[in-house]
Chains A and B, each alone.
Chain A
Amino acid sequence: MEPMPQNTSSQEVYDAVVVGSGAGGGTAVHVLTAKGLKVALLEAGPMLDVATEFKEHKVPTDYDHRGAEEGGKSYFGQGKPFGFFSTTSGGWQLEGEPYTVGEGSQFQWFRSRILGGRTNHYGRMSFRFAEYDFKPYDKDGLGFNWPISYQDIAPYYDKAEEFIGVAGTRENVPSCPDGKFHAAPPPKVHEMLVKKACDKLGIICIANRRAVITKNLNGRAACHYCGQCGRGCQTASAYSSAQVQVFPAMKTGKLKVFDLAMVREVLTDNNGKATGVLYIDKKTRTEKIIKAKVVVLAASACESTRILLNSKSKEFPNGLANGSGMLGRYLMDTVGFGLSGTVPALEGMPHYNTDGYGGAHLFMPWWLWDKHNKLDFPRGYHIEIGGGYGMPSVGGYHGAARRFGYGANMKSKIRESYGTSIGFAGRGEMIPNIHSYCELDPNVVDKWGIPVLKFHFKWTDYEWKQARHMEKTFADIITTMGGKVSGLSASQRESQGISIPGTIIHEVGGARMGKSAKDSILNGYCQTHEMKNLFVMDGASFASNPDKNPTLTINALAWRACDYLAEEMKKGNV
């Protein structure tokens, strides 16, 4: 790369520069600094101030707008994603940082811009991939095998779980291998009804597995069961990479964090090596360079892909590490479908505190892993449960108010129906397909002058049929509980029975790993086939997207990649 006139290049050469501070980047800086490496971490958003950012334990009347946001934005659909109290910092659209979508496609890209990224607010579901998840092509001839096996990653699932802390129970279910668990909290009442219904229907229903600690760990206090993980956890009892990995790594003196640093491209020399990254310092709108012996991209699946696509040169006209032309290909999201109902058995129940450790205390892993010959779709899904006496919030009673009119009758009807609803969300595996990918939009740049991504995405029959199976299953569970299925929500009608691609926020792939440089970008250690000192340690590496939420596997893969990277550095191979 030619030096840019604005560069104010620092002379310091780091052992590694890590781009992105979420699950992958957080793990990378923790593992690499623990090994004594000198690391620079770049985050496109600001530093995280836990005290001001996290609205844990707040109630609506702490704010004049009660959560409707300044000027009542939420009444016009302009509020924060997941509501005012959620600690999301970013969203589906970022001011000045657009993306485009190809004709005939739908895709929504959620980006977080703050230290810790999406780990500040994510659901903390932490499921290991099963053995069969690493060899899906061998199972049904669809998609691609991973270049690694369960046995390769199992020790790193152990390390990741032991370090970030995951509560759960050992169950010996082949579709969802056991891990190193903290004690799981007991099931709530509506969940016990669900479990009874599942027992009748032959569906496995077990303790949920979430990245929340139930005993003290490394100076983090055990969960205090306020149920507000999505608002950020002041005590770091719920895992977030900022609190659990980045802040402690900063204390080692080995880590320097550059915030508001938007990386445009990876820099290379003439010897086929990465030399650092070029970023836009958002505070001053100037281009700057960080030099490092190793470059680790962990900016999120699509953002890392974008950086590689934008790292063009004479030698690499299609972007870096892209000799195969596979960069951006086989983008995947999770198949989502939800259904809710009301349960008469819960009416009039003595109220109790249903907050728990945030999210449901039970879930249903895929239970038909050996019955695919009897199904009309190839891959599985797990089921998440919603219900209980949640904190009353703005918007929570509009539907009921319309249904019941006004006055004393409405008031008592809302009171009686409070906490009697149950909801189910299916999270299923999609098959990677050639219609789902991202590329650079040749006509659009963001406000930093960086070319933006253009998305193309299609669900196929595999996903549609899976969603229909979810619909029937959820209806069966609700009626088996003696409940009544409610109508589809407006957003479900809009998308006609399957989630809009991207909206489950499990987008992975784009720089997938594989055995051969001919058809993949990375090897099994998240190292690019073409450049020994360039790694991608986020969801971009995924060769498939099993129904297990991706974060824990990103943690484990990044940990494994860092062990390998440090070894290779010692040997002088990197």
Chain B
Amino acid sequence: MSNFVPLETLDRRSLIRTIALGLTALGTLDVEAAQHVHTETAAEKAKGPYKVKTFTPAEYKTLQRLAVLIVPPDSVSGSALDAGAPEFIDTLASQNQQIADIFHGGLAWLDAEMRKRYSSTFVAAKPEQQTQMLDALVEAGRELAERQNEELVYQKSPIYKDFTGYTVRRANELGAGVAFFDWVRKMTVDAFYTSPIGFKDLNYIGNRALSRYVVPAEAMDYAMKRSPFA
């Protein structure tokens, strides 16, 4: 098909280098390709143990525990803690005071709520107490979302548009916790799925250089057999 080198089995690092070699062989873009390899290598900086920048040891421990609860390890892959979720949150919080404030405040709220409920901090509580707390936040979050949809319907309806009474948000005592949990969950999930562990969990196998593009027959057969076109 082409004189381009077949590369199916190479990892990304070798792939970049091989592309560079291929280009040089073709006599084009060699400078750019060489530059690319250089940039790529520089990005692969060695990583030592992570130094926490933003959070107190207690806060960081809570983030670590939350990471394991949000994306736990299972037979397929590791946890969000293994995937570096607390480091990711700490890094971004160190660059953005708004994120730092959301997490400082949210983590303080969580411990305060845990003390009320179980006379314990989140980290020191029993696992079932921790999940009870998170379950309560998920439940309250769903309720708030439903209510918000309801309110949007009222706001959009011409019948109700002057009745501001219908659009007043009813308070939920867990509201602040719901907002915080949404933050910690989305950043934890992001950190997990964008990591090599997350790639493996989803069995993502793209981002390679191929000399030819082939769709495996077993995948095609699998879907066709289960489709209305079988």
Q: Which residues of A contact B (CB under 8 A)?
A: 50-52, 57-62, 64-68, 70-72, 75-76, 183, 185-190, 192-193, 196-197, 214-216, 219-222, 224-228, 234-236, 344-357, 389-398, 401-402, 405-408, 410-412, 414-415, 418, 480-482
Q: Which one, B30-38, B54-62, B117-125, B163-171, is touching chain A?
A: B30-38
Residues in A whose Cβ lies below 8 Å from that of B71: 406-407, 410-411
Task: Flag if A66 contacts B72 (CB, 8 Å).
Answer: no
Considering the complex, give the chain B residue whose CB is closest to the CB of A356: B213
Q: A51-B36, A59-B199, A405-B138 are in contact. List 17 more A-B contacts (CB 8 A).
A: A51-B39, A59-B194, A61-B196, A68-B190, A71-B92, A186-B215, A193-B224, A224-B19, A225-B209, A234-B36, A235-B23, A350-B219, A356-B213, A392-B204, A402-B141, A406-B71, A414-B193
Residues in A whose Cβ lies below 8 Å from that of B19: 221, 224, 234-235
Shortest beta-carbon distance, A15 to chain B, in Å?
28
Report the bound CA distance from A65 to B15 in whole Å: 24
**Option from B185, B207, B223 in Cβ contact (under 8 Å) with A346:** B223
Task: Flag if A350 contacts B218 (CB, 8 Å).
Answer: yes
Report the bound CA distance from A221 to B209 in whole Å: 12
Task: Flag if B211 contacts A192 (CB, 8 Å).
Answer: no
Report the bound CA distance from A224 to B12 in whole Å: 13
State how many residues of chain B have any CB contact under 8 Å with chain A: 80
**Option from A59, A345, A411 in Cβ contact (under 8 Å) with B74:** A411
Task: Flag if B35 contacts A357 (CB, 8 Å).
Answer: no
Answer whether residue B228 sits at the interface, using C-beta atoms and an 8 A cutoff. yes
Task: Flag if B203 contacts A351 (CB, 8 Å).
Answer: yes
Residues in A whose Cβ lies below 8 Å from that of B210: 224-226, 353
Shortest beta-carbon distance, A469 to chain B, in Å?
23
A-B contact pairs, 11 of them (CB 8 A): A58-B43, A71-B95, A189-B219, A214-B2, A236-B29, A352-B205, A392-B194, A394-B194, A397-B189, A408-B74, A482-B228
Report the bound CA distance from A395 to B193 in whole Å: 10
Task: Flag if B207 contacts A355 (CB, 8 Å).
Answer: yes
Task: Flag if B96 contacts A72 (CB, 8 Å).
Answer: yes
**Option from A70, A193, A351, A401 in Cβ contact (under 8 Å) with B186:** A401
Task: Flag if B29 contacts A57 (CB, 8 Å).
Answer: no
Considering the complex, give the chain A residue whose CB is closest to the CB of B209: A224
9 closest A-B pairs (Cβ-Cβ)? Answer: A60-B194, A51-B35, A71-B96, A224-B209, A219-B28, A345-B227, A71-B95, A222-B2, A72-B92
Knowing A189-B220, A395-B190 are in contact, say whether A353-B29 is a contact too (CB < 8 A). Answer: no
